[in-house]
Amino acid sequence: MIPALQGVVPSLIATATADGIPNVTYVSQVFYIDEKHVALSFQYMNKTWKNICENPAVTLIVTHPLATTMWEMSLIFKEIKYDGMIFDEMDMQLAAIASICGMSERFKLKAILICEVADIKVLYDGNT
């Protein structure tokens, strides 16, 4: 599953307001911290961030870039960080992704969202 977290295929993130109004967008990077935690890159997620502040439940869809296996990850937001070792690693990886895409000026990491992994399930196993 780790290749699905490396930003080759953007991940989908779904959040909802406290009263259940959904929002779905892309997240550039999902960073593996340990078997119970991931960090999400925070760039252009104003509505997503507002929703997370109201309701910390997050659903993420990640896709393996070669096998096309898709997983649904249920996450719980725990904290936001603006610096530190994980932030620096993600910033460096995001700069590499941006360089490959020719979008270095647009991909600026503002913060990272540390989330606890509540559940993971396979949505598509890569076979037809």
CATH topology of domain 2-124: Pnp Oxidase; Chain A (2.30.110)
Q: What is the SS3 string spanning the chain?
A: CHHHHCCCCCEEEEEECCCCCEEEEEECCEEEEECCEEEEEECCCHHHHHHHHHCCEEEEEEECCCCCCEEEEEEEEEEEECCCHHHHHHHHHHHHHHHHHCCCCCCCCCEEEEEEEEEEEEEECCCC
Return the pLDDT at 55.
97
Percentage of the chain exceeding pLDDT 90 = 62
What whole-number distance in Å separates Cα of residue 97 and Cα of residue 105? Answer: 12
Return the pLDDT at 106.
60
Q: Rounded to two decimals, what is the model's pTM?
A: 0.88
* Residues 73-85: tens digit of each pLDDT: 999 999 999 999 9
* Distant-in-sequence, close-in-space partners of 36: CB < 8 Å, separation ≥ 6: 116, 117
Return the pLDDT at 95.
80
Return the pLDDT at 38.
96
State mean pLDDT over 32-57. Answer: 92
What whole-number distance in Å separates Cα of residue 118 and Cα of residue 58? Answer: 10
Return the pLDDT at 10.
85
Return the pLDDT at 46.
86
What whole-number distance in Å separates Cα of residue 28 and Cα of residue 101? Answer: 12
State mean pLDDT over 14-31. Answer: 93
